[in-house]
Amino acid sequence: MKNLILSYARAHHRIGCMKKAIESLGQTVDIKTDNFDTIEGSYDRIWTLSESLLPVQAQLEIKLGLKNLSVSAAEVLTDKKKFDDFCIAIGLGDMIPKSVIPTCEEDLFDGDLIVKPTVGSGTKLDGFSYTSYHSKEELLNNIPDNFFETNKKGFTDPKFNNVQSYYMVQEMLPTYSEVYGYYAYIDMDGNVHRQFCVKLDTKLIRYGNSKYYNHPYVIQSIDEDEVPDIVKESSEIFYESIADVLGVRNMFISGPDFYVYDGITKMIDCNPRIGTGNTLMDKAMGFTVIPDIISNKKIQYNKHFIWRQADLKPGTIKRVKDYSHLKEYISETSHELHEGKVIAEQTNASDSIFNMSIIVLGTKKPDMQKTYQAVKEELQNSIEYY
């Protein structure tokens, strides 16, 4: 079987994991990270590792006579607002936060709000996108010039394949929510294979009196008996709907994130691709997870991972001791520590501005927590600041 991976080069950790898995099954794989309009050749299966490239996959599927992803399904899974509207249309509206693409002040609604581009990733912070506000008045005090005019016509971003995007203003879910997310796979026959669940701990960081971030700083796998029943039930309904109504096949799904609070369950941010959780569990279990998922094998998950930001003291590095012996615990997307490097307050475990995150694999959570703490302390003690 001949496979094609569509991705951006910046997702090298996902590319490497997927390539290794496919080749372990005795299959061939080509990788395309640019010039997506010049793809030639015949392929049996396409794996898209960045959701803004799903429209490319959909067009290739037509060209190659494949039936894993339609153009309409690609549009829904690429655009956050279209995804929300789809979920509402198929009867999942009770789980979807209120949202709008505003073109005037009157479109905004009251309450805590978060701003998101309809296309793109939640770790790409720019001071406005993925920022939360306590009221529409505070949002209006912080919007860029010509915001509403821009939102009438939309905008594109070359980092996300120039797919037409808009700013979506969404109801901000409570910061005290418990957050859970599953990983799943839809096979060639449309059967859903739900894998394992993670729990996400979020941290609130305030900027002045009006805006704040609330993003995950700890992501850790949990046992099935730790997952609330409502999350199990809601995720099953969601995945079955994606398979049946959108008709997608041979697709990994990361998320959505389920927010549980005050007897309410809401969901946001479904990523139709392998996620970092997949790659970490694959590594923890000897690089057998991704191949087994593709092969439709039932997996007994007996390992865990903790993925947590190091929370280093902010400042500018004067010098840093050799920490190469700790590299096995440091995430692939972490930044290098060196003289002159500015350590900023980290907003999430994949922060694009500054990221130093620790990953611990194992079986016993208490021992894993001790390892995390030991690595964090040694890493912090290796740094001298100006």
For the chain, give every domain's residue range.
2-75, 98-171, 174-301, 305-385
pLDDT digits (tens, 9 = 90+) for 123-153: 556 678 899 999 999 999 999 999 999 999 9
The confidence score (pLDDT) of residue 305 equals 99
131: tokens are 């920022």
311: tokens are 């929370």
Q: How far apart are CA 265 and CA 233, in angstroms?
A: 11
Q: Which 3 state secondary structure label does DSSP give 96?
A: coil
Q: How far apart are CA 169 and CA 108, in angstroms?
A: 8
Residues 182/235, Cβ–Cβ less than 8 Å: yes
Please provide the DSSP assignment of 342-369 as one string: EEPPP-STT-SSS--EEEEEES-HHHHH
The confidence score (pLDDT) of residue 208 equals 79
Beta-carbon contacts of 286 under 8 Å, excluding residues fewer than 6 positions away, are none
β-pairing, 113-117 vs 167-171, is antiparallel
The partner residues of 342 in beta bridges, in order of sequence, read 316
Confidence at 288, pLDDT banded by 50, 70, 90: very high
Looking at the predicted structure, is the pLDDT value of residue 239 above 60? yes
| Residues composing the chain | 386
Q: Which of the four CATH numbers 3.30.470.20, 3.40.50.970, 1.10.150.20, 3.40.50.720 does domain 174-301 have?
A: 3.30.470.20
Residues 83/76, Cβ–Cβ less than 8 Å: yes
Give just the sign of the alpha carbon dihedral 205, 101, 178, 304: negative
Q: How far apart are CA 244 and CA 190, in angstroms?
A: 7
Report, as an integer, the average pLDDT of 209-224. Answer: 93
- In the predicted model, what is the mean pLDDT of the chain? 95
Report, as an integer, the average pLDDT of 56-65. Answer: 98
The confidence score (pLDDT) of residue 125 equals 60
